[in-house]
Amino acid sequence: MNSPSERPDVAAILESFRAALAAAGTPKELEEVRRQHTGKKSALKSALGSLKSIPAEDRPAFAKSINEAKNTIEQELEAAKARIEGDAQASQLDAEWQDLSMPGVAFPRGARHPLNLVERNITGVLRRLGFEVVDGPEIDNAYFNFDALNIPEHHPARDMQDTFWVHGGLLLRSHTTTVQARVLQERSQADLPIRVASIGRVYRNEAVDATHLAMFHQYEGIWIDRGLTFAHLKGTLSFIAQSLWGAERRIRFKPKFYPYTEPSVGVDVACTGCDGDGCDACHGAGWVTILGAGMVHPNVFREFGFDPDEVSGIAFGLGTTRMAAQWAGVSKVRSLYEQDLRVHRALHRGAMEGSR
């Protein structure tokens, strides 16, 4: 049996711990102190292991002193941890301090896509005329894309070179006129006047050049009422074009053919890239077609239960992709769909604002 003189000196253990703790200045050094003085091979653990050699009558007092030392060590370790972490944070703040009153670094803000800006401007003009915006599916069937719009089966637009056909007789719509057809199916002559517009992507399997893409955007409108004439059509198109491009921009009308309108017209504006002289953006013509329109064909009215002897209508479609390219000052429309910030910056520097 060990004598009292052979007992571990708890006071010495604490003294040794405190000396090591005072020398620890980093989290890593503090962890090393914790391991040495509370780990399995620490003097404190050895002292606990010596309890069996202590006389029974002295064990309670000795065990109490060891537990008190253990609690003291743990408390002082936690206090040291808080102190060291606080010092480290203060040092980091001193090293990284910045004067918050100084001007910061301004990151560029996001903005609407050029096409969205064009669509927003057109919507603003059409709302002044009482139009509501409706939506429809991009994947549709041949009835709404062709049959209901007086486009017979032998029409070239139904061939594979123009239309993207998908499974089950469905297709990627080749114009947003499909939405107008759906509106006429849902409404009746009792709902007059009908003024609706539709926006969205359309798809055509055609060669890509300066003014054509296989996927592009359109904005179409239809106005059905009693007593509408070609004069209403021309006046409406002139108002739209001048509201979007400005009264000083030259426009012209030309005859066109569309199966779902009769008569049909196109509207050109003088190219913004060359002001009519001819450039790559307009294929050297000096003019860019932005609108196709006409009086709604009687066969379309009959298809949806409207009496063409009592009602008439005007329909028009704007090529928003081509319009956005003109406003952005790019010669190739595909630039709008590429991640070239120069195109976006050019538009936001005032090209759109100047067109209002």
pLDDT of residue 158: 74
Q: Is residue 344 domain-shared with residue 272, that is, in the same domain?
A: yes
Alpha helices in the chain (DSSP H): 10-23, 27-38, 43-49, 59-96, 114-128, 142-145, 177-186, 230-245, 298-303, 320-328, 341-346, 352-355
Residue 1's pLDDT is 39
Confidence at residue 180, expressed as pLDDT on a 0 to 100 scale: 92
Question: Is residue 181 located within the same domain as residue 306?
Answer: yes
Provide the pLDDT for residue 4.
47
Please check whether residues 205 and 327 belong to one and the same domain: yes
In a domain? residue 350? yes
Q: Please tell me the distance from the alpha carbon of residue 261 to that of residue 183, in angstroms, as a whole number.
A: 17
Say if residue 294 is in the same domain as residue 233: yes
- The answer to the question of residue 109 being in a domain is no
Domain end call among 29, 62, 96: 96
pLDDT per residue rounded down to tens, the chain (356 residues): 344 446 778 788 888 888 888 888 888 888 888 888 887 778 877 877 777 777 777 778 878 887 888 888 888 888 888 888 888 888 888 888 777 787 777 777 767 788 888 899 999 999 999 999 999 999 999 999 999 999 888 877 777 668 888 888 899 999 999 999 999 999 999 999 999 999 999 998 877 665 577 888 899 999 999 999 999 999 999 998 888 888 888 889 999 998 899 999 999 888 877 877 888 777 788 888 888 999 999 999 999 999 999 999 999 998 888 888 777 777 777 777 777 777 766 655 544 444 44
Which alpha helices (H) appear in 97-146, and where do they start and end? 114-128, 142-145
Residue positions counted in the chain: 356
Among 96, 129, 155, give the residue marking a domain's end: 96
Residue 192 belongs to domain with CATH number: 3.30.930.10
- Regarding whether 203 and 85 lie in a shared domain, the answer is no
Regarding whether 55 and 14 lie in a shared domain, the answer is yes
* Alpha carbon distance 35, 29 (integer Å): 10
Q: What total of structural domains would you count in the chain?
A: 2
Closest CA to 111 of 349, 355, 356, 273: 349
Tell whether 170 is covered by a domain: yes
What's the CA gap between 108 and 88, in Å, rounded?
35
Parent domain of 345? 115-355
Shared domain check, 124 and 87: no
Q: Which of these three, 41, 62, 96, is where a domain ends?
A: 96
Does residue 101 form part of some domain?
Answer: no
Kindly state whether residue 10 falls inside one of the protein's structural domains. Answer: yes
289 and 197 housed in the same domain:
yes
pTM of the full structure: 0.63
Are 253 and 176 within one domain? yes
Q: Could you tell me where the beta strands, DSSP code E, fall in 146-278? A: 170-172, 194-203, 215-225, 251-258, 261-270
